[in-house]
Amino acid sequence: MSSCEWFSLPLGDGLCAQPLLDDLLADFAARPAVDGQALLLLRETDGRLQCELTAYFTPAAASFARAWGARPCLRPSPDNLERLAGDAGWRARWFG
């Protein structure tokens, strides 16, 4: 696997996904910090009433992503991504 490989984890409907998202954030916070590691969130509506949530993990968060069953993916567009946890400089580091 590439050291620049991104990971994604579909979380489902925005309302129903909140307990899973809470668990994901708690687990992320409980682990040792890794340089460049960030947990990001994309909310997609595509005209639907409810949004679909997808968590994205930077390449530095690969082992954490795999532990949660996230799958390798292409690097997402930084547009509309929000940082949930981790490296506050994620945008400059991975997209700069």
The 10s digit of each residue's pLDDT in 38-67 is 999 999 887 766 789 999 999 999 999 999
pTM: 0.91
CB burial of 30-66 (b: ≥16 within 10 Å; e: otherwise) equals: eeeeeeebbbbbbeeeeeeeeebbbbbbbbbbbebbe
Q: What is the reported pLDDT for 48?
A: 67
Sorted by where each begins, the domain ranges of the chain are 6-90
